[in-house]
């Protein structure tokens, strides 16, 4: 069965500093991988996704993620964060055979300090 | 394009009372999801519809929860009777169901059971 582990429940960083949010997955087959963001009192919004092809995926708001099959990871990065990036970030995984069903991680709260 | 609409946004009820949540998905989206999100956790799937058919309801507590999606468009999720542990955010999402597709989330209904 597939699962997702987000190692950090909270990540505090200073404004304009780089950030990396870690995500590891477990699956016995090929996977689709996603990062969603949830701003306060809102639903989730897709940042980026990996389906196939290039392992470096670029998303909205300057975020990118790299799929590493050998390490079963899909870490999210941004070179310079802004106050507006303060939110909860969720990594998620699905399998092509049941692609409409995705499993979410427990989330990482990114807090930006001025 | 209108997003996923949910109502109400907030609901406070006493335990043992019934409660219902409504969701209107994005037009043309065949797949509809109901998720439960506890504080500090990622969304957990309760039920997934493909058009009118519930194709995955394995995580729905059927002794007290029920859902319907009449005419394959709007959906209602009901809890009867509510328990204290049901306090959470209930998210609705929709997608095209084409595999690896983006799920579009509504803002959620925050339920507090007293």
| A45-71 pLDDT per residue, tens | 999 999 988 999 999 999 999 999 999
Q: How far is B107 from chain A (nearest CA, A)?
A: 4
For A101, the closest of B48, B91, B98 (CB atoms) is B48
Interface of B with A in 28-47 (CB under 8 A): 31, 40-45
DSSP 3-state of B86:
helix
Q: Which residue of B has its CA nearest to A92?
A: B42
Average pLDDT over residues B43-51: 94
C-alpha of A102 from chain center: 13
Residue B112 has pLDDT above 70, yes or no: yes
- The percent of residues in chain B predicted with pLDDT above 70, rounded, is 99
Residue B105 has pLDDT above 80, yes or no: yes
Mean pLDDT over each residue of chain A, to the nearest integer: 92
The confidence score (pLDDT) of residue B93 equals 96
Task: List all residues 6 or more positions away from B6 whose beta carbon is below 8 Å from its beta carbon.
Answer: B21, B22, B23, B24, B90, B91, B92, B106, B107, B108, B109
A–B interface: beta-carbon pairs under 8 A: 56
Contact A100 B44 (CB under 8 A): no
Residue B1 has pLDDT above 70, yes or no: no
Interface of A with B in 7-66 (CB under 8 A): 9, 32, 36, 41-46, 49, 51
pLDDT tens digit sequence for B56-82: 898 999 999 999 998 889 999 999 999
Contact B44 A42 (CB under 8 A): no
Task: List all residues 6 or more positions away from B27 whose beta carbon is below 8 Å from its beta carbon.
Answer: B1, B2
Residue B33 has pLDDT above 70, yes or no: yes
β-bridge mates for residue B34, sequence order: B47, B92
Task: List all residues 6 or more positions away from A72 whose beta carbon is below 8 Å from its beta carbon.
Answer: A24, A25, A26, A27
Q: Does B93 touch chain A (CB under 8 A)?
A: yes
Q: How far is B63 from chain A (nearest CA, A)?
A: 23
Q: How far is B9 from chain A (nearest CA, A)?
A: 10
Q: Does A87 touch chain B (CB under 8 A)?
A: no
Please choose, from the candidates A4, A7, A50, the residue with its C-alpha nearest in 3D space to the C-alpha of residue A27: A4
Q: Which of A81-85, B31-35, B39-43 has the lowest mean pLDDT?
A: B39-43
Residue A42 has pLDDT above 90, yes or no: no
């Amino acid at each position: 069965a597939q699962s997702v582990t987000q190692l950090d429940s909270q990540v505090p960083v200073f404004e304009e500093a780089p950030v990396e949010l870690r995500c590891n997955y477990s699956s016995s087959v090929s996977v689709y991988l996603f990062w969603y963001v949830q701003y306060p009192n809102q639903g989730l919004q897709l940042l980026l996704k990996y389906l196939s092809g290039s392992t470096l995926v670029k998303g909205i708001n300057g975020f990118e993620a790299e799929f590493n099959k050998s390490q079963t990871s899909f870490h999210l990065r941004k070179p310079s964060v802004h106050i507006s990036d303060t939110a909860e970030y969720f990594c998620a995984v699905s399998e092509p055979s049941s692609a409409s069903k995705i499993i979410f991680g427990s989330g990482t709260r990114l807090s930006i300090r001025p | 394009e209108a997003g996923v609409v949910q109502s109400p946004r907030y609901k406070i009820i006493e335990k043992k009372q019934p409660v219902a949540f409504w969701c209107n998905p994005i037009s043309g989206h065949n797949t509809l999801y109901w998720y439960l999100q506890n504080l500090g956790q990622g969304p957990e799937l309760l039920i997934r519809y493909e058009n009118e058919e519930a194709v995955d309801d394995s995580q729905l507590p059927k002794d007290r929860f029920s859902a319907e999606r009449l005419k394959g468009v709007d959906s209602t999720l009901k809890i009867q009777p509510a328990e204290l542990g049901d306090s959470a955010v209930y998210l609705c999402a929709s997608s095209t169901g084409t595999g690896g597709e983006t799920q579009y989330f509504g803002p959620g209904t925050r339920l507090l059971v007293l």
